[in-house]
Copies of this chain bind each other. A is one copy, B any other.
Amino acid sequence: MPAPTPIYIIKIGGQVIDDKDALSGFLHSFAKTQGNKILVHGGGKLATQMAAQLNIPQQMVNGRRITDADTLKLVTMVYAGGINKSIVAQLQSNNCDAIGCCGADGNIILAKKRTGADIDYGFAGDIVSVQSEKLGRWLQEGYTPVIAPITHDGNGQLLNTNADTLAQEIAVALSAHHPATLIYCFEKKGVLQKADDDDSVIPHINPASFETLKNNGIISGGMIPKLENALKAVSRGIEQVLIGQASEFHALINHKSGTRITHDT
């Protein structure tokens, strides 16, 4: 039996999506990268802009959008329609056989409406299961899934789901049968020693070094939950998490740029 094929699960965030040239450059590098890969994308500013134009009030709590019924309709249109299909068309023009979908398509990601939280997040979905066999078969057939952060509950209700979490859950599910690498592309070159110095990227972090970096105050603020999340991912079977810049995607995937997070030393 041949060794299981490695799979890359790449999440690109809002800042890349909002910048037409940055997105186009990233998609070009992404398409050229050999191997099995899945792209998960966030939303960018478009949903917020359109909500303002359509007079749909937006409420954000702790950086998360409260998804009321009108907002759900809007994000479904923007994420699973506008952004998703624009990415797919660009990847196709780069000879990458992309297939855009959300969690409802093929029932690949089942979620349930978040309940019991202190805050009513509205139509926010927490992931219940990922059909990794289907995603695996699509990859085997030569497709590159491009996944919008919209899921469903199996009873006809679409749900808005955090794209970082979605990428992680997909990677964990696939890691049962494949060496899986989870890649977060964001605006910085990686996890930095000094927040204002782009050349101070920390090349490797594991649970022990994370504690030291945190205790020394080198890692602080919003980077702490991001890294805790990445460390949780590698403790759940994902081989490695890479964090770096979308514009350096090729270097990032080849460990020549960005921060690599693993469970072991």
Do residues B92 and A104 form an inter-chain contact, with CB atoms below 8 A?
A: yes
Do residues B88 and A104 form an inter-chain contact, with CB atoms below 8 A?
A: yes
CB of A188 within 8 Å of the partner chain: no
Q: Out of B84, B88, B137, B158, name the residue touching A89 (CB < 8 Å).
A: B158
Count of chain copies: 2
- Mark interface residues in A153-183 (1 if CB within 8 Å of B CB, else 0): 0111110000000000000000000000000
Q: Out of B54, B78, B97, name the residue touching A81 (CB < 8 Å).
A: B78
CB of A113 within 8 Å of the partner chain: no
A50 contacts which chain B residues (CB < 8 A)? 54
Number of interface residues of A (CB under 8 A): 39
CB of A200 within 8 Å of the partner chain: no
Beyond A54-B53, A85-B158, whether A143 also contacts B98 by CB under 8 A is no
- Alpha-carbon separation in the docked complex, A119 to B14 (Å): 38
Most buried by B among A54, A73, A92, A101: A92
Q: Out of B77, B88, B92, B97, name the residue touching A77 (CB < 8 Å).
A: B77
A-side interface residues toward B, CB under 8 Å? 50, 53-54, 73, 76-82, 84-86, 88-90, 92-93, 97-102, 104-107, 137, 141, 143, 150, 152, 154-158
10 extra A-B contacts, CB within 8 A, seeds A88-B152, A100-B104, A137-B141: A76-B81, A81-B84, A81-B85, A85-B102, A89-B158, A92-B104, A92-B154, A99-B105, A99-B106, A106-B143
